[in-house]
Amino acid sequence: MQELSPIVRALLDSRDEAIVIVDARGGAVFLNAAARATQPHAGPPSHFLSRGGRAVPLRLGASVLGEVIFVPREPARTWADQERRAIRDALQETGGKRMETARRLGISRTTLWRRLKAE
């Protein structure tokens, strides 16, 4: 299977649902950012099906190239859940650098510290 272009990767990474592209042999070819966040280690794509994923075959004419698995994101129940998720995501993106995390979130370091302490 061909390598995905940077624009396609960026588009798939911008989605908040987990998206996994699987080749015809069942091996994962691409995991978007949401899929990598839920499964940081390399594992079988069937893990995403067990989480409620929906598999859609990828076809070119009569031949099947593989499939795409879509896993809907779990809705946050409260504002506090959404805030905690945003902080965790930002911390992961910055490699745990709290000052950079606070800057990205548009809050002070003190506010970030209080939110982390409250968890």
Burial class of 86 by CB neighbour count within 10 A (0 to 12, 13 to 18, 19+): middle
Looking at the structure, tell me whether residues 65 and 107 fall in a common domain.
no
* Tens digit of each residue's pLDDT, the chain (119 residues): 457 888 988 989 888 889 999 998 888 889 998 888 876 555 678 788 887 889 999 999 999 899 999 998 776 578 888 888 889 888 988 999 999 999 989 999 999 999 888 87
- The domain in which residue 63 lies consists of 6-71
Looking at the structure, tell me whether residues 58 and 20 fall in a common domain.
yes
Looking at the structure, tell me whether residues 24 and 61 fall in a common domain.
yes
Q: Say how far apart CA 46 and CA 88 lie, in whole Å.
A: 26
In a domain, 1, yes or no: no
Looking at the structure, tell me whether residues 12 and 64 fall in a common domain.
yes
Q: Are the C-beta atoms of 66 and 21 separated by less than 8 Å? A: yes
Looking at the structure, tell me whether residues 64 and 104 fall in a common domain.
no
Looking at the structure, tell me whether residues 60 and 31 fall in a common domain.
yes
Looking at the structure, tell me whether residues 50 and 27 fall in a common domain.
yes
- Phi, psi (5° rounding) for residue 93? -65, -30
Residue 23's CB is within 10 A of a number of other CB atoms, namely: 15
